[in-house]
Each structure stands twice: as C-alpha cells, then as structure tokens.
Structure 1
Amino acid sequence: MPSIADEPPALHDALDLLHKASRTPAKQRTVKVSSIVDVICRHALQHGLDQDALRDVVQLASVKTNLDQTSVTTLVKNLYPAQWVPGDIIVTVVGALGQGKGKPSPATQDSLVKWLTAVHEIIEDANVLSRLYGVLFSMLDMISIRTSLCHLLSLITRRKHVKPFRIQQLLELSRGLGNEPALQGLLRVYKDYYPDIILGSTSTSRKSFSPRPDSVWRTRISAIQEASAATNDSSVDRHNGFRVLRKGPKRSKVAVIPEVHTYYATENSVTLEGIDNVEDFVEKLDRLEPPGQLVALLTDSLLQKYVELTPSPIVSTRIDLWLATCLEELYEAEGLETGDAQYLSEVLDGLLKHAQYTKAMHPTVLAFLKEYLPIWNGQENVDSILGLLSYIPIDSFKDVYSTYLSSAERALAGHGPSAHPKLIEFYSSLFQHQVSTTSSKNDRHSSSSHRVLKDLVAHVSELSTSLLLSLPLNSGSSLISSILGFYELLSTSSKPHVIPIILPPMHLIYLLAQNASSTMLSRVYGIIGSYKVAFDQHPKPVKDYYPVSVTERLNSCLRDLYNMLWVSRALSIQDQKSVGLYCDPSLRVALKDYLSSLDRDYSISTAFALSNNAWLASGSAAAWRALEERDIETEGYDKDSIRYHHGPVTPRSLEVLKRKGGINVEWDGPMGYKVFVLNWLAERGLSGIKQFMFATVTDLKGKV
C-alpha cells in the first residue's frame, strides 16, 4: 500500500489528509491513516493543538466516519489544547453523545466524556457545561458512558443543578442498579447540598470519584499551557478566584479544613457554589448566604472575599470559635506527642494562605504560636511557621522577640548552619511586611513605627555578624547571600517622611566585602550605591532629618570602597574621612613592604583595583580583550602588526601601549577603560559596582 511521503506533512496538511481519509473507505485510500494520526498526535504532544486544529479533530471524532476505532481513540487521548478550549467545541462534544445513526461509537463517546472531565477547568466559557447540565444528566441511562458521565457531573454540579426531579431520578437509578460506585459518588454530591432530603447513607469507594488524569497527561498539558501563556495574553486565568475551591476526591476523609458547602438551601437561595465569575459575584453579593463551614475561608479565595466584603459579628464569632477549638486540640496533641503531622500541616498551611490574603495574622493564631513555639522542633512545617511569623503585628520589637521570635531562633539554631539562611530570609520577609504596614498608616511621622524598624534592623545586623563570625573563612555562601538579600531590601525601602534610611553597621559591610566572590563584592557595592542614591533623592538639607554621624558613617564607607576599586588607594586611612576597612596602619605598611619585595610594580594601593583585584581580575582582563578587539575592528588596524597589551592594564601601561603602536584608550573618563569594564561586568550580572560608581564618581554621576 502506498504510504505517506518520507517528509512528515505539516499539521494543516495532515488534518486535510485525515478529513479525506475519514470520507474514504479503508480499501480505497492511498495514504496510511496511522501515519497521519501519528503526525497529528506528535504535534499535539509537543506543542498542543490551537483552537482551529482542536476543532477539526473534535468534529471528526464527534460523528460516525470511516476511521477505525483505534485511530479515533488515539486522537481523542491526544487532544492537548494549547489554549483555552472554546465553548463551541464543548457543545460539539456534548452533541456527539447519545443514541443516533450518525453518532460515534460508544467507546468514542466514553473517551470524549473523559476528555471533558480532563479539560473542564480550562474551558473558555466557564458556564458552558453548566448550561448543558440537563443534557448530560439525561444520558445517565446509557450504560456505556454512565461511569464517566457520573464523574463529570460530580465535578460540575452546583446547588442550582440539584432539582427535586433529578434527586428522584438518581434515587430510582440507585435502587435499580444497586451500589454502582460512580452513581453513588454523584448521589453523595447531591446529598451534600440537601442532606435533609436525601436520607440514609450513600456508600462510596475510591471508584466513586473521578480519577485524576494520569501524571504524564497533567505534566504535558501544564507545560503546553504555560508555553502558550508566554506568547498569548488570552491564556490568562479567567476564573481569578471567583469559584469555590474543589480539591477533588483524593483529599483525605479526615481533612481538617472542609470545602465550601451551603446547607439547608432552598430553591431561591443564592450561594457561593453558584458563583462562576466576578460579575456574578458582584451582582449577588448582598444576597449570598454564608456557607455552613466558614472556616473553609482558610483555603478558599472566594469565601475570603465574601467574608472581607460582608463583615458580620456572627461570622467572625463562628470563625474564632472554630480556630480556638481546633488550635487548642492541636497544641494539646503536640504536647502529648499524639498529634497527626498531616493534620497540623494542613491547618498551618491554611492559616498561612489566609494571612497572605489579609496581610495580617488572626489573634487566635497569635495565642497558639505563643504556646506552640517553645515546643516546636524547628524542622516540621518550618515554611508555614516562619511564613506566619512574618505577619506578626509589632508594637514593640523587644516584646515580640521575647514572646515569639526568640523561641523560633532557638528551634532553628538546633539544626546548625544549614538553617541560618532560612532564619535571615524570615527576617527579610518580616521587615518587608513591617515596611508595608508602616507605609499604609496615616501617621506619616510615627516614631513608634520607626523605632520598630530600627530595632528589627539592629537585631538582624547583630545576628548576621554573629553567624558570619561563627563560620570558617570563605564558607557559608548561602548565608552570605541571604544577608546581602536583607540589606538589598533595606537599602531600597526608604521613603521620605515615611520609611527612614537605616544604615547597616559598617564593620559588617567591610566583612562582607572581603568575601572571595565577585558576585558578593558586586552586591555589597550595589547596596552602598543604593544608600547613596537614597540620600541624594532625600529632601534637603539632610542634616535636618538625620544626625551628622549617620551621613559621616556612609561617607566613610563610600570613600573606602571608592579608594579600593577606583583610585588605587586601598586600605588608606584619612582622619574623619575613611577608616581603610579597619585595617591597622602597621598591617598595611607590612603588606606594602611584602608586595614590594616580590616585585617593584606590586603595591597594596593597587592590589584591590579593577585590573588587579583578585575577584575581578579575570573579568577585567576579558573586558580589555573585548575592548581591544572592538577598537582594532573599528579603526581597521592590521591584526598581525598591531601591538597587543599583555596586562594588567594601568594608566602607565596604556600610555606605553599607545607609543609602541597599540590602540589608544583612556584610563579615566566616560569613554575610558574603567567605564568599559564597569559596563562589561554589569552586562554579565555584576551590576552593583557600576551602580555604585555611577552614583558616586563626579564625572559619571547621574549617567546611565
């Protein structure tokens, strides 16, 4: 039999060939259908099917054709949407279900229902399946698709769908068919909405609930959708948290945080389960009835919005009572070492999600943490515990530290240096939240808020210094990175009259600057450069807002870092101006003599400059080569005859190079060697040094 060409056809051509094959009897075809199907499925697996291609394949699978069952089943199993699934495709699939001469085979219909179950959360019009609910429900008498159909209906059922006649039909089916698992699962969903009408127990098993798509399918569709979202703005989530959260059948039967359900509802009730979009929520907000399990707000974003927008003393009391009872039981169980780790983890995760939404911690949670932290082991649920603590309200840092934070520090310290970065990262989150809280206050000059921020920074500075000095030299890179992350946040958080400029201790900055890493050095320079920019942008005169000692400390650090890298005066001390990184003068003299004894061109003054700095020398050398090659190409020099520089680059070596037939490059100035190196390093991730110099050096200040 002739086969398709060796070159696989494009998707569009393959779809055309498939349409022709579907209308042609198998014995009259000139192409092999399996090869065409393979092309389509391979494209779907790698890139997903756009809406037009998806529509083409669905239309073929939704009618009776000359395609064999294997090919159709393979196509349906590989229907990976690259974008949101249009509503008309869903209508086409539902229209293919049922009895009829032109309908696809029962096996194909079952595959299509399973596909609807798999994609029901990524449909473009979230209401399309809801509008087709009656059509789907009426097909429950079809044995071939009943199991898959029950699974689909269990996922899309809302209170508005639960009608008396449907309850009656389900009960009659259940009595006639016995304990059919999928049917019992759907009946259980109905009973959740009307427990007083559907009496008795509904037996459920694992097969009662819709199985999740296999892991390969889920992984693939997620990757395809994410890739499509990067290039298609229409792929943004349209639900935006305006539907109640359903966690699916795999959740534990003893899960502590329930899902949203409104019990004792009537035909005229307006419930959260019936909300599908923001317009619906806004229109019905004043008529919504609170659900039976208000504590579901810990994980359900729609219920969180409802509680925040419709405050009620009764609702607050119900939530407070549940939290108090639940947390007290958890604390007692932990104290007796009889607690359920998964149970506690779910509660803490829920509390953290609620805190992240409200940007505050519930008072009941504060009381729980006060008692729980002293017995916490510092390892279990560490992210949730520290995440909650980052939202702790602070009126006095000293009081909060003694009551809560000291216990957390001791618990983490018990796990050694590996826990230190996480501790500093926690304080970064805590500081960020305090900055946000202070910025939102009406009192722009709140001395108490400023005191809290300063005390917090002072504690982190003391803690960081202690942790650094406890580690071996040039170790703990993750800790150093976390510390620098805190000060990067601190240096860029100031806001005139609202958030004060708070300097780190300069001895800590000098200690960090001596770490053997070009990245760390760049970040240190970037931090000090940010402080320089902050003071430059502050209302003048600065001395009316900050003591002279503050600006003097920063100026001293600016000169030390400037002297070290830019003007070859490293470690030099000037009275009232710079401290030379606290290097003792006698040590500096000894180092100078030692270097001179090795080579007369060696000097302690230049040992830390751009060309000679141990952490930047290789980068500076590579930058020079790039500059040299650029000028040779631009000026049209002969590469075989021109004199090359052998480094390291100095002002004198550039003069010599120029006289002996090399390229002509200045040492200083906006177009000189040093600025080129700054830009070259910045392009490769070391932008902090450039930021510092362009904020400090007079010739460069204010330039990009």
Structure 2
Amino acid sequence: MTSPPINDDLEGLIGDLEEASKLPAKRRQTSIKPTVEATASLLFERGALPGELARLVDLLTIRNHLDQASLGAIVRNLYPTGKVDDDVVLRFVAALGHGQLKASFPLQALFLRWLVMVYHLIKNPAILSQVYGVLFNLLDTAAIRPQLCHLLALITRRKHVRPFRIQGILSLSRQTGGDPNLTGLLRVFKNYYPEIIVGDITKGRASSFKHPDPQWREKLDEIQQRQFNGQCDPGTRNGFAVSHTLGRQMKGLHVSVPAVRTLHAQENSVTLEEIDNAESFVKNLERIELPTQLVAVLADPLLQKFLLLRPDAEASSRVSNWLMACLGDVSSGDADSEIFLEMVEVINSYAVATKTLPPILLTFFAQFLSTWNGSDKRDIVLETLSFTPMLVFEELYAILQVLEGAVLDNTSSSQLSLLKFYTLLLRRWTIAMKSTDDLDPLPMATVSRLIDYVNQLTLTLTQTSPRVGTCLDILDFYEAAAAVFSETRLLQRVEISIPPPLLVYLLYFSPSLTVVSRLCGILAAYKRAWEAVMSSAVTRPLTRRERDQINVFNGFLMDLCNCIWRGRAFSTTDVNAQGCRVPTAVQTALDRYVRTAANSDRDLSLAVAFGLSHSPLLCQLSLEYIRRLEDDQMEELRARHAGPVTQASLARLASRGGLNLPWADYKSGVLTHLEAKGFPGIPELMYNTMKNLMRARQQ
C-alpha cells in the first residue's frame, strides 16, 4: 500500500486537523492518520510559519479528541521558521501541571523538551523568567521533572536563586534518593551562591543537560537558514545578554571557550548573567563583577562590551595565560595543531565584534603563523590580522615577513590575497586615525612606509596577473592611500608616498575605461594633497623625499594630459614630461605604424591616438556626445560629422552646414558627458590640472 501524496497546503491540513479534533474517532467518516502524516512531513520539510505555529500550539494544548500518537507526531516535527512569540511559550507553560483540562504528562514532557530545543529562538527570553515560579513549583511532578530541570537550568539567573528554592530542591532530592536532574539544577544554583550551598549534595551523579536531539537542531537550523536567506545561525545572540550556549568545543584538545560564569558573587553585586538589555547594562556598569571565566570574552558579545568600557589589566593577563597554555599544549605535542585554526575562528569573531586585535592576540598569531600552511582558512586569518593596530614599521615588518612566508606560493592568487589584506589594513588604520583626537601616540611614519612596501607587490601583480580585475584590486589600495592624504589633519604628520611611475603608465594603458577613470581620480586626489602640503593649510615643511617625488608626480600629470587633452602623446619637450617612459626608438616605430594603418586619415597620428576623440577607450563616448548634439539640432543641420572629431574636422563640418562647435567647447562637453556616464576620474584630473579648465569651471 503506497503512502498518500503530501499536501503542500499546510493551512488546509491544519484546518482538517482542527475539524477532526472536535469529533471522537468513532464519529469521523475518514481516518485522520493520513492527514497527521502529511502535516508532520510538511512540517519536517519546510517548518511552520508564525501563524501556523500558533494554530498548531492551540491544537496541542487545548484538550480535544485527537489521539496522543497524532499529537506527539506533530510536536516532534514542530519546526518554527522564525522567532517564537511569547503567546506560544505561555500556551505551552499553561498546559503544564495536573488537571483534567491539562495535556497528558507524556505530551507535557514533549512540550518542555520543545521549549528547551527552541530556547535560542524565543523572541523575548525574559518571558520564561516571568513564569519561573510556575515552572519551579512543578518539580514534584516526576513525569516531567527531567525536562523541567533542563529548562530551569537554562533560564536560571542569580535573581531566581532564593533560600526557599534551595531548601525545596534539597528536600525533594532527599525524597527522590538523589535524582540526577535535581542535582544538576542544584549545581546551577551553586554557581551563583557557592558559599550557601555546601556539603556533599552536589557531588553526586548529576544530569549534564545536553541538547535533547542534536539531529533535530540540525534540521531546525537548515529550515531557518532557508527561510532567512542563508543565515546559518538564525538565533542571533542578544548583544546585551550573556550567551549561555557558547561552550564551543575545540578540535584535538579537551578544552572549550567557556560560557560566562560568575562564582563567589556578593549579595549586593551584579553579575553579567543578570543583564538582559542595554538599559540594565548601562545602569549597573560600575557594579558588575568580573566573571570567573574571563576567556569567554573571545566569543561573548556582552563581556566584550564590558571589558571595552571597563578595561582590566588582570583580565587581559588571564586571557593571555589561557591562550599561552593552548599554545604550550600544541608546542609540546599534547594537542593537535588544528587547535590553532579553531582558535583563529574564535579570535576572528572577537576582532570583528570589537574592531581591535590586542597585543596578547598578536602574540598568539606570531606563534600561529610559524606553523600555518598559508592556505587553511586564509581569508579568516587575513581578515583577523587586518585589525592589527598601527605599530612601528620594524615591528610590523617582523609580522609581515612571517605572514608572507606562509601565504606566498608563487601564484598570483596568493599575491592578490596579500594585496587585499594590505588594503583592508590601511583602511582600518585610516578609520583609527580619523576617530582619535590625539595622534601623538601613533607611529604615523608607518603609513608611508607600508605604502612604499606594497608598491613592489602591485608592480609584481601587473606581471603575474595582467587582468582588469587585478588592476581594480590595485586601485583599491591606492584609493585607500589617497583617502589618507585627503585629510589635512593627517597630512600634518604623514609623508606623501606616490605610486611607482611604471605602475601608473601600465594602468593608464589598460584596456578598461573604468581602470583609467579610477586611476585619474586617484591622481587628482594626490594632486590636491600636494597642493595642501605646499600651502599654509599644512604647517610642516616638505621632506627631502617628498621634494624628490614632486617632479616624478608632475611627470605623471604632464604625460597623461599630453595624451588625453593636448594631443601630444609621448612628448618629452614639456617641463617634467617623461613621454610615458617609452623609448624614442619605440615611439618612432609606433608612429610609423599608426600613419601606415591610417591610410587616408590625415588627422590621425601617434600624438593624438590617445586623446578624447581617437583613444580606443574614449572614441565611442566622444562620438556619442557629438551625435546627441546633432540630434538636438537635426532640423537646422545639412551635414553630420563622420568622426573621429578633430579641431580641423570641426572647422570643415561648420563650413558644410554641420554643427558650429568650437574645439574647446567640444572637449569640455566630452568631459561633462564622461561624468554623466559614470566615469568622473578623467574630468576630475583635467579640471584639477589644466589651467584653462580651472578658470572656466570657476567662472
């Protein structure tokens, strides 16, 4: 006999169950079993939406005519697709206890088990705290005690531990002959008041309160991930509440990053475990006691906030000792080296959350890099190291040498990974410099030395990976550098460091207009920085190295303006012009080739081949600009321009009844058209470099 097809209409299935629940089994015309199976299957496949969950909870908690097996099948497959509302939690709690209208004890045990398994998804975890007394008073019900103790262990906070409750558990434990579940709950109580709960009562066998069904949790995570567009952990931790599900087990070593626990707390003190919102955290900030397990700062968001606002030398020392102990275990062979990779993930979470990488963690990385193979979890390692604070360059270089020794493997991909790391590092430094009021403690000279250091890497990449994508990654780095030099306050202390000349020319002759536009925008930002340094806005004098760089930089500007604007590509007759560093013999051969290829086009030569009209990157947009002008005046024109546009061709066009457009207006119009098309870099450089354009824009 084949099973019935699954109905995809969960709302309809729930409706059928609701109708069937009103009738005794003997009065139903059809069996309810296929509907229950279809509902359970659909819940297993895609979970229950909030409205569907509420209806199913009503069906489970209100006494009806559905049999226990059917109700049990539903609750075992009750996977929520989102957060669990207060009403759902309260309905399950209200169904607990003794009475004819209450659910059966096996069902009550399943309800409590479900609350334990979805605890991390409860929208308002405080709701269970509000019914703590109700739950606690049900401990004498043996049928649901194991699940009830587990739930109470999750929600117990210091405020819940009272003498009468301690006495109640002790009395009940003696009556039951030392129930392990009660002993486990009593140990949770003892964590808050170890000086009150003494004796051997907590030394017996105790429940460890492990997750009731890890496979169920995996399925829940899968459903939640699908529902929330790829979020692998939908139960995002509350940033102002301790994470009680931390305890992450490390590979190869019997040690974990523990959850936050505060032992030996005083009656008038406040513990982090009692904090459940931002208001409570701020109100009690000065009274909060340091937790016993300070290493939990690596993963617990609330403890991270606490130690940022109340730094403590002892706390840093204890975290450092814990990390060094892990390193010692690996070095001595007592633990697998895989522990390093697990620790890196934990440290990455800490660095991303706090935007810092303290010296103790840098010490860890110094050990880690010496054993790392350079490929495992490379992105995580590099992202974490990008939070390295500004150090004296010699100290930084010692780290970079080890890092590059591990990462570089004679492939362009490893070089690109390093370049992206340096870009991210420079951006984070820029944010740190902009956000601090006092720059004196920072080793500002490191910024320029890092840029000089990366210059060699960018040049290497133009040879090992001559692709447009690589050029864009290189420009990301120099945009980050230009952002530093664009701040007058930072220019007072940071020496300007320009890109290598060869790199500039290689990027300029890229086959991508995006690359050329971004390059010109970066050079325009550098030019403004030079102007600021040489003006009264920056009080420091130019360094000798900066004076040597000025002529080189002016050579960039002259060469690019000769190519784009002046129709004198590769000229060396102007002051500072370097002819794009193309040898004279090569220029002669190229010019001969261009004239031969041009045939009857007497306007084309090597000198104008990279201008607005003839450049392979710009010719289409410049002609598009002319066509737009002609379309606007179509009724008045007797001739159209065939392109490419030159000063002479515009004069001939006007004489034949075509556009009457001055050469200067044409060129400035093309710049405006480039801006409108999303290529502002070339216009920005021209407006910042060509004096006639500067005056025109000012007018």
The TM-score with structure 1 as length reference comes to 0.75
Aligned to 2:508: 513
Letter in 1 for 2:224: I
Question: Does structure 1 residue 217 correspond to structure 2 residue 211?
Answer: no
Distance 2:695 2:108 in 1: 71
Letter in 1 for 2:416: P
Counterpart of 2:418 in structure 1 is 423
Aligned partner of residue 589 in structure 2, secondary structure: helix
Amino acid at match of 1:409: E
Check the 8 A contact 2:532/2:538 in 1, yes or no. no
Per-residue CA deviation, residues 579-603 of structure 1 (Å, 9 max, x unaligned), is 3322223322311211221233354
Asked if 1:408 is matched to 2:403, the reply is: yes
Q: For the structure 1 residues 334 and 207, does the alpha-carbon distance in structure 2 shift closer, same or farther, using more than 3 Å as the test? A: closer
The letter of the residue matching 1:484 is L
| Aligned with residue 378 of structure 1, among 353, 374, 383 | 374
Distance 1:249 1:649 in 2: 68
Q: How does 1:138-537 map to 2 (within 5 A)?
A: 138-140=137-139, 148-163=147-162, 166=165, 189-190=188-189, 192-193=191-192, 197=198, 198-202=201-205, 211=214, 213-225=216-228, 239-247=238-246, 254-265=254-265, 269-312=269-312, 316-317=313-314, 319-321=316-318, 323-324=320-321, 326-327=323-324, 329-335=325-331, 339-355=335-351, 360-370=356-366, 373-374=369-370, 376-380=372-376, 382-383=378-379, 386-387=382-383, 389-394=385-390, 396-401=392-397, 403-414=398-409, 416-443=411-438, 449-469=443-463, 471=464, 474-475=466-467, 479-493=470-484, 494-499=486-491, 500=494, 501-532=496-527
In the superposition, relative to structure 1, how do residues 174 and 628 fare at CA in structure 2: closer, same or farther (>3 Å)? Answer: farther
Q: CA deviation at 1:303?
A: 2.0
Find the aligned partners of 1:689 and 1:199 in 2 and give their Cα distance: 76
Structure 2 contact 44–78 (Cα < 8 Å) conserved = yes
**CA-to-partner distance for each residue in 1:138-178, whole Å, 9 max, x for gaps?**
44555665555444334323333345555566677778889
Tell me the amino acid that sits aligned with residue 596 of structure 1. R
- The aligned amino acid for 2:62 is V
CA distance in 2, matches of 1:17, 1:330: 58
Residues 150 and 183 of structure 1 are in contact (CA less than 8 Å); yes or no, is this contact kept in structure 2?
yes
Residues 61 and 95 of structure 2 are in contact (CA less than 8 Å); yes or no, is this contact kept in structure 1?
Answer: yes
Change in 2 beyond 3 A, CA 1:625/1:440: closer
Note the 1:555-704 alignment, pairs <5 A. Answer: 555-565=554-564, 568-600=567-599, 601=601, 603-609=605-611, 613-614=615-616, 620=620, 672=669, 675-680=672-677, 682=678, 688=681, 692=685, 698=693
Is the 1:184–1:208 Cα contact (8 Å) retained in structure 2?
Answer: no
Aligned partners of 1:390 and 1:427 also within 8 Å: yes
Cα distance change of structure 1 residues 505 and 191 upon mapping to structure 2, 3 Å threshold: same
Which residue is equivalent to 2:127? 128
- Code of the aligned partner of 1:160: K
Partner of 2:3: none
Residue-by-residue CA offset, 1:264-310 (whole Å, 9 max, x unaligned): 34665532111111222222333322222222222222223333434
Is the CA contact 1:21–1:67 (under 8 Å) kept in the aligned structure 2?
A: yes
Please report how far the alpha carbon of residue 133 of structure 1 lies from its aligned counterpart in structure 2 after TM superposition. 2.3
Check 1:437–1:274 CA distance in 2 against 1; reply closer, same or farther (3 A cut): same
Change (3 A) 1:288 1:140: same
Task: Tell me if the contact between 2:345 and 2:380 (Cα under 8 Å) persists in the aligned partners.
Answer: yes
Offset from partner CA, 1:108-144 (integer Å, 9 cap, x none):
6555445534543344433111112232344455566
Structure 1 window deviating more from structure 2 (316-325 vs 204-213): it is: 204-213
Deviations 1:639-672 (A, max 9, x none): xxx9999877778889999999999999955995
Between the aligned residues of both structures, percent identity stands at 31
Contact map agreement 1:37 1:75 (CA 8 A) in 2: no
Q: Is the 8 A contact 1:523 1:688 kept in 2?
A: yes
One-letter identity of the residue aligned with 2:220: W
Paired residue secondary structure (1:261): coil
Could you tell me how far apart the structure 2 residues matched to 1:662 and 1:48 are? 71
Closer/same/farther in 2, CA of residues 157 and 658 from structure 1, 3 Å limit? farther
Q: How many residue pairs were aligned?
A: 667
Cα shift at 1:426:
2.5
CA gap 1:321/1:447 in 2 versus in 1, 3 angstroms: closer
Q: State whether residues 240 and 281 of structure 2, in contact with CA within 8 Å, keep that contact through their aligned partners in structure 1.
A: no
Q: 1:448 to 1:119 in 2, by over 3 A?
A: closer
Query: Is the Cα–Cα contact under 8 Å of residues 63 and 102 in structure 2 kept in the other structure?
Result: yes
CA distance in 2: counterparts of 1:411 and 1:428, whole angstroms? 19
Report the secondary structure of 2:202's partner residue.
coil
Q: CA deviation at 1:385?
A: 5.0
Distance 1:92-1:407 versus aligned 2 partners, 3 A rule: same
User: Partner of 1:125: helix, strand, or coil?
Assistant: coil
Q: Distance in 2 between matches of 1:384 and 1:411?
A: 14
The 8 Å contact of residues 152 and 210 in structure 1, kept in 2 or not, is answered as: no
**CA distances 1:447-468 after superposition (whole Å, capped 9, x unpaired):** 9744222112111113322454
- Deviation string 1:668-691 (CA, Å, 9 cap, x unpaired) is 5599566445533x2xxx665566
Label 1:630 to 1:370 Cα distance change in 2 as closer, same or farther (>3 A).
same
8 A contact 1:187–1:202 mirrored in 2 = no
1 CA distance for matches of 2:559 and 2:628? 33
Structure 1: tracts of 5 or more residues without a match: 1-6, 229-234
**Against the structure 1 CA distance between its residues 561 and 115, is the aligned structure 2 distance closer, same or farther, given a 3 Å change threshold?**
farther
CA contact under 8 A between 1:535 and 1:542: conserved in structure 2? Answer: no
Letter in 2 for 1:136: L
Q: CA separation in 2, counterparts of 1:441 and 1:48?
A: 49
Change (3 A) 1:331 1:224: closer
Alpha-carbon distance, 1:256 to partner: 4.1
State the secondary structure of the residue aligned to 2:257: coil
Match of 1:3 in 2: none
* 2:47/2:79 contact within 8 Å kept: no
Whether the 8 Å contact between 2:49 and 2:80 is mirrored in structure 1 is yes
AA paired with 2:340? L
Contact 1:117 1:151 survives alignment (8 Å): yes
Query: In the TM superposition, what are the counterparts of 1:22-171 in structure 2 within 5 Å?
Result: 49=49, 55=54, 58-65=57-64, 70=70, 74=74, 77=77, 80=80, 85-104=84-103, 109=108, 112-140=111-139, 148-163=147-162, 166=165
Give the distance between the partners of 2:9 and 2:256, measured in 1 at CA. 54
The answer as to whether partners of 1:627 and 1:676 remain within 8 angstroms in 2 is no
Q: Is the 8 A contact 2:242 2:275 kept in 1?
A: yes
Task: Rate the CA distance shift 1:625–1:46 in 2: closer, same or farther, 3 A.
Answer: farther
Give how far 1:181 is off. Answer: 8.5
